[in-house]
Amino acid sequence: MIRKVLHTSDWHIGRRLKNHERYDEFKKFFAWLEGVIKSEEVEALLVAGDVFDNTTPSAKAQDIYYSFLGNVARSSCRHIVIISGNHDSPAFLDAPKDLLKLFKIHIVGQACEDPSDEVIILRDETGEPELVVCAVPYLRDRDVRTFRAGDDANAAEASLLSGIRDHYERVFACASEAAAGRDVPVMAMGHLFARGGRVVEGDGVRSLYVGTAVEVGSDLFPDFLTYTALGHLHSPQVISRKNVRYSGSPLAMGFGEAGQGKAVCVLELDGAKLTDVKEISVPTFQRLERIEGNMSEIFRSLEFFAGQHESIWLDVTYTGEEAPGALQDKIDEYVKNFPLLEVLSLRDETKRTGYAADVASYKSLDEVKPLEMLHILFEHYQIPESQQAIFIPMYHEILREAGAEF
Ligand SMILES: [Mn+2]
């Protein structure tokens, strides 16, 4: 019988952060995960979707994936079950499926017509079932075939939702039949938005879900399930009952997720009974920090992070009231002395608002002469005269080059 199962999801292998590649982080994460599988003596691994960040993973991303699968197949872990998420290409994940089955790696990329194809019966050395897994991949409209011409958005959503429920229920019926009369745990896997789930601002889930913004009630998961391993939301969390969970993504997908605890879940079983679930924290392999403030606050933070003597990727937002001038140049000039600091993103979100509205109420835009416009901007940005003196000749030069009338 299986005693330990590890649940993880949302790896997003190949994910970049503001155009920075993150392969090193992925390699470190998988090396760490192999260590956990070994030290915890994990016997089955469940991966609840979003294996890759996009539908055409790079050779490097695939190398990382297959190396990991190879290493796990040689470890204490006897079974691996992987479903696709909304980021994955179902066909791409499925392609090596028959070969991987030889290593007891089960892939369900594409939603199946026959519900029994999504019921994976994991067997021990003697051929006895030791775990039944309902491996339901991310379900798209076309998978549940609910859309009818003429449906409005509400009707389309309602029928997608009922199509999803229907699909799960058929898979559960099959699984409960397979497990009938045996003391064997039955688990579900899914990649969906369970009602009540927490989403972190800027983690890319909300925006990517547009079109199929359906939230599924957790009553979908029947009581006979020992555990439900979900993917899609990026912070580890329990949904309604302790045995319906999101493991969350192991890496912060963006600065919005930085500082948020990342985890994988390790379940302990006694026969068909779940005796414990623990979240094991994933170490931070690349520190991400946000800096926000006026010029002196930004530089104070840069100085602080420079003093940390570790690799830090920064997201900088200028919110001061003065025009920042050559913000990028000033920051570049500073960080070039600290190779461990990298500014991935720099934004000017100054607090000097209101000018756009004022300009709109000004006569008509083409009645305003260019130089007059510059002075409107000075006034509304409250640019000190000393700075105006720098801008005016530059502006003249631009106008001359553009052949504009002053
Ligand atoms: Mn995801």
Q: What is the mean pLDDT of each run of 10 residues along the chain (406 residues)?
A: 96 92 97 97 97 96 98 95 96 97 96 95 93 96 75 79 93 94 94 81 48 73 94 90 90 86 96 94 94 91 93 91 80 90 87 50 63 80 80 82 69
Buried b (16+ CB within 10 A) or exposed e, 381-404: bebeeeebeeeeeebeeeeeeeee
List the one residue out of 135, 242, 237 whose CA is nearest residue 186. 135
Query: What pLDDT does 361 receive?
Result: 47
| Residue 70 tokens, joined | 């190879």
Tell me the CA–centroid distance for residue 212 and ligand 1, in Å.
15
- Residue 240 CA to ligand 1 centre (angstroms): 21
Shared domain check, 175 and 312: no
pTM of the model as a whole: 0.82
- Cα(131) to ligand 1 centroid in Å equals 26
CA distance 295 to 330: 10
Contacts of 48 (CB under 8 A, 6+ apart): 7, 8, 9, 10, 83, 85, 189, 190, 191, 229, 230, 231, 232, 247
110 alpha carbon, distance to own chain's centre:
21
CATH code of the domain containing 300: 3.30.160.720
- Same domain? For 276 and 379 the reply is no
Report CA(204)–ligand 1 centroid distance (Å). Answer: 8
Same domain, 203 and 315: no
Closest-CA residue to 100 (of 111, 87, 89, 109): 109
Distance 258 CA to ligand 1 centre (A): 15
Which of helix, strand or coil describes residue 46?
strand
CA of 65 to the centre of ligand 1 (A): 16
Do both 370 and 277 map to the same domain?
no
- Using the mean position of ligand 1's atoms as its centre, give its distance from the Cα of residue 108 in Å: 17
Distance 50 CA to ligand 1 centre (A): 5
Do 276 and 291 lie in a common domain? no
What's the CA-to-centroid distance between 344 and ligand 1, angstroms?
22
Q: What is the DSSP letter of 117?
A: G
Smallest Cα–Cα separation from 13: which of 55, 46, 71, 74?
A: 55
206 CA distance to ligand 1 centroid (A)?
10
> Following DSSP, what letter does each residue of 336-378 receive, concatenated?
TT-TTEEEEEEEE--S---HHHHHHHSS-GGGS-HHHHHHHHH
In angstroms, what is the span from residue 233 Cα to ligand 1's centroid? 6
What CATH number has the domain bearing residue 12? Answer: 3.60.21.10
- Kindly state whether residues 197 and 266 are assigned to the same domain: yes
Q: Which of 30, 40, 11, 18 is nearest to 279 (CA)?
A: 40
- Structural domain harbouring 377: 355-402
Q: Which of 322, 348, 374 is the last residue of a domain?
A: 348
Residues 309, 384 share a domain: no
Q: At what angle do helices 59-73 and 23-39 cross, to 10 degrees?
A: 10
Regarding whether 60 and 113 lie in a shared domain, the answer is: yes
Q: How much distance in Å is there from the Cα of 85 to the middle of ligand 1?
A: 7
User: What distances in angstroms separate CA 139 from CA 154, 176, 221, one per listed residue?
Assistant: 18, 21, 16
Burial (CB count <10 Å: 0-12, 13-18, 19+), residue 180: exposed
The count of domains in the chain is 3
How many A from CA of 339 to the centre of ligand 1?
Answer: 31
Rounded to the nearest whole angstrom, what is the distance from the C-alpha of residue 248 to the centroid of ligand 1? 8
Last residue of a domain, one of 306, 323, 348: 348
User: Residue 109 is encoded by which pair of tokens?
Assistant: 């990329």
CB < 8 Å & 24+ apart, contacts of 325-330:
325/387, 330/295
State the distance from the centre of ligand 1 to the C-alpha of 303, rounded, in angstroms. 34
The verdict on 265 and 294 lying in the same domain is no
Distance CA 159, CA 154 (A): 9
* Final residue in a domain of this structure, among 281, 316, 335: 281
Residue with tokens 């200028």: 318
Please check whether residues 134 and 109 belong to one and the same domain. Answer: yes
Question: Both 295 and 388 in a single domain?
Answer: no
- Structure token digits, residue 276: 């414990």
> How many whole angstroms from 239 Cα to the centroid of ligand 1?
17
Contact 230, 245 (CB under 8 A): yes
Distance CA 36, CA 221 (A): 28
Query: For residue 317, how far is its CA from the centre of ligand 1 (angstroms)?
Result: 26
Question: How many A from CA of 268 to the centre of ligand 1?
Answer: 25
Pair (224, 367) in one structural domain: no
> For residue 347, how far is its CA from the centre of ligand 1 (angstroms)?
26
